[in-house]
């Protein structure tokens, strides 16, 4: 398994990690399989979405904020309940098929670490599962 860190820049931040994941896949020389990307955190997530127009990421962030506002009322006393809820909705892992040694992402797809309680340094785990 490969790991790398991502420094996020604000409370809510979508960081494009497609390049780092692609590097891991290239280095591993896995021709065919599945690339699992996992974030071991409870207030950030990982997702795949549009990589061309940054306003899509802003729309996702703003829609999540409307659905799950930062100030509650919430029971969690740490003050970051909204970040926990958003992280659960987005999810902590994605799986991308690998073929011919490359991620099978669509033309407009990028992989994003979704920060909901930053700025922080986050860990990303990448596990390649080879097909026979
Ligand atoms: Zn908390």
Instruction: Determine whether 92 is exposed, middle or buried from the number of CB atoms within 10 Å of its CB (0-12, 13-18, 19+).
Output: middle
Ligand 1 centre to CA of 10 (Å) is 17
Tokens linked to 66: 């409307």
Ligand 1 centre to CA of 85 (Å) is 10
Ligand 1 centre to CA of 19 (Å) is 30
Q: Can you tell me the distance from the alpha carbon of 104 to that of 34, in angstroms, rounded to the nearest whole number?
A: 10
DSSP structure string for 48-95: EEESS-HHHHHHHHHHHHHHS-SS---S-TTS-HHHHHHHHHH-SEEE
Domain covering 2-130 in this structure, CATH number:
2.60.120.460
Q: Where are the domains of the chain?
A: 2-130
pLDDT tens for each residue of 10-69:
999 999 999 999 999 999 988 999 999 999 999 999 999 999 999 999 999 999 999 999
Ligand 1 centre to CA of 12 (Å) is 15
């Amino acid at each position: 398994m490969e790991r790398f860190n991502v420094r996020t820049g604000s409370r809510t931040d979508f960081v494009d990690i497609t390049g780092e994941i692609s590097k891991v896949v290239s280095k591993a020389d896995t021709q065919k399989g599945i690339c699992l990307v996992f974030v071991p955190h409870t207030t950030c997530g990982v997702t795949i979405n549009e990589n061309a127009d940054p306003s899509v990421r802003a729309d996702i962030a703003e829609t999540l904020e409307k659905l799950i506002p930062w100030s509650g009322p919430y029971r969690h006393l740490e003050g970051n309940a909204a970040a926990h809820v958003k992280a659960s909705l987005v999810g902590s892992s994605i799986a991308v098929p690998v073929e011919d040694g490359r991620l099978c992402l669509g033309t407009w797809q990028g992989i994003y670490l979704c920060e909901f309680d930053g700025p922080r340094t986050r860990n990303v785990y990448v596990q390649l599962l080879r097909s026979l």
